[in-house]
Structure 1
């Protein structure tokens, strides 16, 4: 079994509590699983996350992707010494979703001392790919 890459001080309860009173909470994102090398979250497809044609808004998918990538990156650094901020994000929207729940999963492509790159795949309830995103994070010293 691989060693977990995330610091054990981070829990689902803590991450979800930290998200209170933020955009993450406002649009219904809930972190659901922390694995050895991944973080998962869900987001409803409802009035908060659809565009005027009643399909999942691409921007909402990007919010889910950025939330997952940012949390995952932060969970790999000592929060007393470092923090992570987004440098760049892109997204390819592949399939429309009109209702239900989407799930995102963030996995690392590169975890370095100064930068990190995460891939986020978002799927619908049938596990079909809806969006694929990549975020580059800067790792910043607090001192």
Structure 2
């Protein structure tokens, strides 16, 4: 698949899911990364009007899991997130955030992803690590 087909597929599989609820949109893909964008609106705010850390974590897990889906053999394996951690470095009230997932480790069974969440000026909002596991599908 070419870049446009990959992005179209990522966005199509998100219909009627949390990703659609959060308005996550996959916008770029390369040989070793996948990037998604999410608007920062009251829908993803915490009560004091800034981006909720849980929304950032949902974005990170969404892009990391989608990247696993794109870069691993999902015909034979189901991909599941098994651990995620996040450090939030800056708050955000409006605009968009961008999450880019890159492999730190690509094992046969487990994969480790680094997901950087930035704002429009490339300032770091959150840094996350996601561990995924590839589970053999039953025949």
Instruction: Place the TM-score, normalised by the shorter chain, in its bin.
Output: over 0.9
Alignment partners' CA distance in 2, 1:112 and 1:76: 12
Supply the RMSD in Å over aligned alpha carbons: 1.1
> Which runs of 5 or more residues in structure 2 are unaligned?
none
Moved over 3 A (4+): none
TM-score normalised by structure 1 residue count: 0.92
Tell me if structure 2 keeps the 8 A contact 1:77–1:83.
no
> Which runs of 5 or more residues in structure 1 are unaligned?
1-7
1:115 aligns with 2:110: yes
1:100 aligns with 2:95: yes
Alignment partners' CA distance in 2, 1:37 and 1:78: 15
**Count of matched residue positions in the alignment of Structure 1 and Structure 2:** 136
Which among 126, 132, 136 is matched to residue 131 of structure 1? 126
SS in 1 for 2:71: coil
Tell me if structure 2 keeps the 8 A contact 1:12–1:31.
yes
Alignment partners' CA distance in 2, 1:127 and 1:77: 28
Counterparts of residues 40-119 of structure 1 (less than 5 Å) = 40-119=35-114
Tell me if structure 2 keeps the 8 A contact 1:68–1:106.
yes
